[in-house]
A = this chain, B = another copy of it.
């Protein structure tokens, strides 16, 4: 563990490290309070004189990494569009291990259970630490203080911001691409590993010193459209298989069958209707979870009944959104990460199913972004507290098992609604104080549970609009107490050490919270 820091209190009362692995940090100052003064990262100027052969194909991943000058202490980035079906990140570190390099910072846009393979390289020193969302085993490993340095978790937009601002310098970006040409143009629309888009690797391609495309589907120039520009690419590597298709996209996405979840979803849609949010030209964002899909389903029902259509819906694209587009219930899908095969096909074939990126949608250090334009964002959380603060990375037992994703970024939508079960695994979801503060309560407007709806007092307009709706509006304290009554008390306090294992970044690069080491029960 990295322990050479002092703790400082930030604007939401959380103690956060003054530096992360030696790099000084700015504690969170409040929403919109930190003002960047510097300039964007400035990559070295390349010259075509060094790229006289537009055929950049090299013989192997090792050759590409050697050509890129891989050495101890470098930062390697990868993307997570293949989710748990990714084969490339593991390969990269197999090669790094084989080459004998040490102390690599791995900078994925997210990691998944399949990357448990890399624990051996965290153990043997090939990888010093991970900066990026950790879903599952690597999160557990990190939580228990086993990583040599401190982890850093960022939102999708925060990751773009960190690279753009030069906070994270990527030495080598390895971009797995379902379709690529020898010049390095690449997309994710065609090929056996098609996952729709490559936006999570956009910043990497623009700002990394060296960029390697790894593909299992080399096509003749031009690879059209180019989601990644070959003009940023150094080498192209062709391998047999970059991902396991069944795990890349889920194939089918299903609406929840749980009566409780369905009820929450229906209540969410009814709330939006009562609040006057569902009108012609509106927009909303939902995820691909079972409850989110159900919310979309009920939104569609209401739109049909009212005879209104959305101007756009924001994905994770999926079958249900595609159906809405085809039915004419929305003009556009703006998609950042496709979740099923219908979504991929639609993105390939329909110009109204538009690929976006963390730059367009989520980068806070930009002249605005698309999240601001979304009327209603439907998001999840592991915990919410009585001040409406939200947590998405740790559970009440202290374990950090999830990434931030686009969650923090989507909080800038005009109305943010969290449909949540009151109890999960017998533990209340509404608590006195979130274990980890990932999103400040001032940005979270409504909590919707199977036992009632709590509206943030900051949103008097919503309180006013729904007061005679007949909906079960309650205070968040009431919901919390009910959760505790059902669960038989508050969640147990987690068993934590003093040491910080991960810093949680806000969208502007400041540190909003820190995750402490979990002391395992046994």
Contact = CB atoms under 8 A, between A and B. Distances in A.
A312 interface: yes
Contacts of A368: 48, 51, 54, 56, 183, 230-231
Q: What's the interface size class on A, roughly?
A: 35 or more
A48 B312 contact: no
Interface stretch (A73-81, A84-92, A221-229, A292-300): A221-229
Interface in A325-381: 332, 334, 351-352, 354, 359-360, 363-370, 372-373
A233 interface: yes
Interface in A37-84: 37-52, 54, 56
Given A222-B334, A226-B360, A366 B46 contact: yes
Contacts of A220: 281, 311
A357 to B, nearest CB: 9
A171 interface: no
Contacts of A373: 54, 183, 221-222
Nearest to A45: B36
A367 B45 contact: no
B184 A367 contact: yes
B49 A39 contact: no
A364 B412 CA distance: 39
Contacts of A412: 48
A155 to B, nearest CB: 13
Contacts of A365: 45-48
A36 B47 CA distance: 7
B48 A369 contact: yes
A165 interface: yes
A225 B227 CA distance: 13
A385 interface: no
A231 to B, nearest CB: 4
Interface in A1-48: 32-48
Interface of A: 32-52, 54, 56, 164-165, 183-184, 211, 220-222, 224-226, 229-234, 281, 311-312, 332, 334, 351-352, 354, 359-360, 363-370, 372-373, 412, 508
Given A38-B45, A54-B372, A225-B351, 20 more contacts: A32-B48, A35-B47, A35-B49, A36-B46, A36-B47, A41-B42, A45-B365, A46-B366, A48-B364, A48-B365, A48-B412, A50-B367, A52-B372, A183-B373, A221-B312, A221-B373, A222-B334, A222-B373, A224-B354, A225-B354
